[in-house]
Structure 1
Amino acid sequence: MSKALLIAPCPEGLVAKKTRKFHRRFPPLSLLITASLLRSHGWDVELHDLNANRGLSPEQTLNCAKTADMIILTTNPYADWQCPSYAIRSVLEFARHLPSERLVITGNHGSLYPGGMLKATGSTVVVRDEPEYAVLELAEVFQGKGDLSRIDGISYRDGDDIRHTRQRQPASMDDFPAPAYHLVNLRDYYYELLGGRFALLETSRGCPYSCSFCNRSMFQNRYRKRSVVPFLQELDDLVQIHGCRSLYIFDLEFTLDSKMVESVCRHLIDRKYAEDIGFRWTCQTRADSVTDDLLKLMKQSGCALIHFGVEAGNAEILSHTGKKISKEAIRKGIESAKQAGIQTAAFFMFGLPGETSAHYEETLRFALELSPTYTSFHPLLPIPGSPLFEAKYGKGPYWNDPLPADMTYFTPEQEHEISRFVRKAYLKYYLRPGYIAERIAQGNRMDYLKQLKLFIDFAFQK
């Protein structure tokens, strides 16, 4: 039986520091789906998550790679393949220690810089965009049954040349198997705002909106939903077989499909997971796609937290992001969630085009006005391939360009200014006496103080 080794490496950089500081560990969802596909086609699969498995060392992974027939390394180890880390120098260094003739690279970076990724890692093949079914077809080639030139969505070495095949068409969401969660231990995964025994499940890929900092082209500008019945079966298996107690429903705009949300909520209520075992779940959505009735149903089913992307507090700057949402709609959505008894997390970014220090102050005032349970302040990090990224680096893909080891967006001076304001925003938000008193009154005092320390520590880390 052929053996595949799937690796989620441990990168460096701001996001990596944040996850370690917060003890946050998200499962590598795309690798788990890929593992299911390979197992269903007769492969012996081993998955090494170097971010979560504390008993696993990089040296052990390198030793295991020596006997693998195919090695899949993602450059996007957090949650899903399209979530990029700007700092991947350590990932590239790790890749160079793997057997290059059997190495396949997946992730956002190689999707944009396929030739550069091949050169930087020495790998045989880079998968561009959605990886799961491309990896399955590559598995046949590694078994001597196919031809690389016939596989869509890859770039590969051909002697001294690099070949790029045509773009792969995205698969139907219902064609993906359930993630192979039996290959990992959910006790290794944790979200500091939700809890342990933590898992992820997808209900869609893509997004119907066109935010300037996001890269819709990864999904060929399509928004694909999955059917509710197989999703509910996966959810039940996670809880009943794998012991899941906290779940992030991975969908950029979960409540856009209110009928699916209602079906999920009623299923959870019927199963009494929240009531019997303390099951909690969270999602991400737009503030203008929630209603009071829907939020009440979500709360009843165990929804403990909703993430909202707010981005900016100035109406003009907000309009330039392409989100097509008003400040008033944001106010209403977040307040409605709070009234339903659901915790809220709001994301704000600094450094959008045209922003000044006065705009930063306006965004901070808006955050204080909204007063969500949690806020995340961070510098603008446009996803590689997004309109803002391409405005700086030119239109991609950058087929044979060198791969930047650490992609940057701001000058050192800009980065210093924004980082200073991020620290100021965290301190001003989380050290408000009224906020502290309200949070302590809402729950466990020690749990809150631990969370507060994490946010303060993160504000001062570099």
Structure 2
Amino acid sequence: MRILLVSRPHPEGARDPFTSLLPTGLGYLNAVLRENGFTSSLANLSTASWRQVEELLRRERPAILGISVFTHNRFESLRLAALAKKVDPTCLTIFGGPHATHAFESILVKYREVDGVILGEGEETFLDLARAVERGDRSLTGIVGLAYRKGAKVHSVKRPPVADLDVLPLPALHMNDAWGCDVRRQLEFIITSRGCPAACRFCSSPRFWGKSLRFRSPRAMVDEIRAIRDRYGLIYFSLRDDTFTVRKDRVIDFCRLLLEEKVHILWNCQSRVNAVDEEMLIWMRRAGCECVQYGVESGSEKILAYLGKQITPEQVRRAAKATRRAGISLSIYLISGVPGETDDDLQATLTLISNILPHDGHVAPLAYYPGTALFDEAVREGRVGADLFERERGAALYVRRDPFVARSMETLLRALTRVERKARFGPADFTAQREFLGYCHGTNLGQGEWLEAKGDIGKAEALYREIVERQPENPWGWLALGGLHGSRGDVTRAGKAFERAISLVPAHVPAYLALGDLRLEEGDQRGAKQLYETAKRLNPRDTDVGERLRMVVAERGTKKGDT
């Protein structure tokens, strides 16, 4: 019995670096199924044509097709289910994910091509489903956590959430054969907790995960990072918890383990401005955190209250100051197009941007999603229909569509661009960070890059050398030295630095590519090709590797023709 777990984004998100990835939840489902003896596999359909999708379904002939459904890809998911039924009418099509969870009744009532919907997190529910189907029971009845049709009615029983997240197997150990998936890019994103302490009116996360917050232990977090680093060569990670810093003791223990065990990664995370303090940020920076992304949304207290953010602009200012002082890049999310938002509210946000100096910012219009207080209120008040997501086909359904929204978005984006130069860390910042933090390889890397850009190669090299002298097992110092020497044409010293990085992280694809480029500069096409081929074996879907290999083959062919 074969099980196929898939995701296909809306066409607008097919090339997006985030929405084009497989949802992390599918990786966990796949790992649980495999470790319990089932033949399960993953497929990322973001770049596949519908003809290729049909060919995949005919080749795999899954008994169960699990489809991850978000609001943006709800119609693509329905088309997938219909296509699976066309290929094999006996295939069980099972939806899961946030949109499916919150809209399960309307999905099952209106779309016969969908057999069932997993509610909330799905590891235990999908495993029970697979066991039932393996026994020959395809009725879907009696499976806790699964919604299904019986006659004209929809039946469902919620399942309690997984109590101990550490018992779940690691997705990274079961992804080598994922179809259409750049595994290294996929595994950069890690989730270490489930749930959020907030209750923002525009977010469905609290209803999806339940009221309780559950956490993976620092030991499990570091073990996963080390496993991915050793197997796939990744040394940069993005921790995508809704609020990574909600438990200070866990964050500090995680950072302490990274430092004590000399894991030497760089990473970023998401948080709330009322869930960080200076001590925590110091630990994070020393352990390699280079960016924190905060959900700021607005500088207007009125708008923050409407959104249910439970934060104040003053808390934003304090968190931003502490983040910048620790030498961590400050990234913010903003929302425009909120009902009742005026030019005065917009000005409050512009003032806040000028005050906090974010290094990076993202702006999005306020949108409706099922499972949110915002959508429920709009339905109750008659502003939108309960069938909004079936009637409207847009990837996102915005709350406001008047000219103010476009104008405010453009104004906010311009403001973020204007402060970008002023927000960058400079000499005074780096000096203050060194006094505040002591030695920190992240500070050395940041200051070294700044000095390189200014042409002060000698001081930059000294900072990189300090890393490898203090931490000879830290690949980031060697990679920085390799890049610096390579940019100066010192191929020999650059090559030795990249070779050292490879000895520390043997599966680090960028180091092979950089070393291959150096060999090419020396005229060693054979050596370059061997290095590119190694990189290709490590990451078959890396387009940079493919381009380099084609270039080497073409160049060697040209030289043969010339002779």
Q: What amino acid is aligned across from residue 232 of structure 1 in structure 2?
A: V
- In the alignment, what sits opposite 1:33? 28
Which residue of the partner structure matches residue 54 of structure 2? 62
The CA deviation at 1:163 is 2.6
2-structure distance, mates of 1:11, 1:369 = 37
The answer as to 2:358 corresponding to 1:364 is: no
Equivalent in the alignment of 1:456: none
SS at match of 1:156: strand
How far did residue 445 of structure 1 move?
Answer: 6.3
Among 101, 126, 131, the alignment partner of 1:135 is 126
Distance across 2 between alignment mates of 1:335 and 1:294: 14
1:43 aligns with 2:43: no
In the alignment of these two chains, the number of paired residues is: 417
Displacement of 1:366: 1.5
Report the equivalent of 1:72.
Answer: 66
2:301 matches 1:315: yes
Cα distance, 1:229 vs structure 2 = 2.4
State the partner residue of 2:117: 126
Cα deviation 1:325-364 (Å, max 9, x = unaligned): 2211111111111111111110110123432233123212
Look up the match of 2:7. 8
Matches of 2:254 and 2:362 in 1, distance apart?
Answer: 28
Q: Which residue of 2 aligns with 1:178?
A: 170
Rate the CA distance shift 1:411–1:28 in 2: closer, same or farther, 3 A: closer
Structure 2 distance, partners of 1:121, 1:301, is 51
Alignment of 1:166-205 (within 5 A): 166-172=157-163, 173-184=165-176, 188=182, 198-205=187-194
In structure 2, the partner of 1:457 is none
Give me the whole-angstrom Cα distance separating, in 2, the residues matched to 1:117 and 1:9. Answer: 18
Deviation at 1:270, TM superposition (A): 2.4
Pairing of 1:13-412 with structure 2 (within 5 A):
13=12, 16=13, 20=15, 26-51=21-46, 57-66=49-58, 67-76=61-70, 85-86=71-72, 88-99=74-85, 101-118=91-108, 119-120=110-111, 122-146=113-137, 147-158=139-150, 160-172=151-163, 173-184=165-176, 188=182, 198-215=187-204, 216-274=206-264, 279-394=265-380, 403-404=390-391, 406=393, 409-410=397-398
> 2: CA distance between counterparts of 1:273 and 1:401?
48
Structure 1 contact 154–165 (Cα < 8 Å) conserved = yes
Q: Aligned pair in 2 of structure 1 residues 254, 229: CA closer, same or farther (>3 Å)?
A: same
Structure 1 residues without counterparts, runs of 5 or longer: 77-84, 191-195, 447-462
Moved more, 21-30 or 362-371: 21-30
Query: How far apart, in 2, do the equivalents of 1:23 and 1:219 lie?
Result: 21
Which residue does the alignment assign to 2:495?
Answer: none
Q: Which runs of 5+ in 2 are unaligned?
A: 427-445, 455-563
Distance in 2, Cα, partners of 1:129 & 1:401: 22
Normalising by structure 2, we get a TM-score of: 0.67
Task: Please say which of residues 20-29 and 132-141 is displaced more in the overlay.
Answer: 20-29
Give 1:295 deviation, angstroms. Answer: 1.3
Please tell me the root mean square deviation across aligned C-alpha atoms, in Å: 3.2
Structure showing greater relative contact order (alpha-carbon pairs closer than 8 Å, 6 or more residues apart): 1
Which has a greater percent of helix? Answer: 2
Deviation at 1:122, TM superposition (A): 0.7
Instruction: Decide whether aligned partners of structure 1 residues 86 and 303 sit closer, same or farther in structure 2, where only a CA change above 3 A counts.
Output: same
Offset of residue 177 of structure 1: 2.0
TM-score under structure 1 length normalisation: 0.81
Query: Segments of 4+ in structure 1 off by > 6 A?
Result: 398-402, 436-442
CA distance in 1 between counterparts of 2:423 and 2:77 reads 39
Q: Give the letter for the 2:55 counterpart.
A: N
Please identify the structure whose Cα radius of gyration is greater.
2
* % same residue: 24
The change in CA–CA distance for 1:400 and 1:133 in structure 2 (over 3 A counts) is farther
Q: In the TM superposition, what is the alpha-carbon distance from 1:226 to its structure 2 partner?
A: 2.4
**1:268 Cα deviation from its structure 2 partner:** 1.4
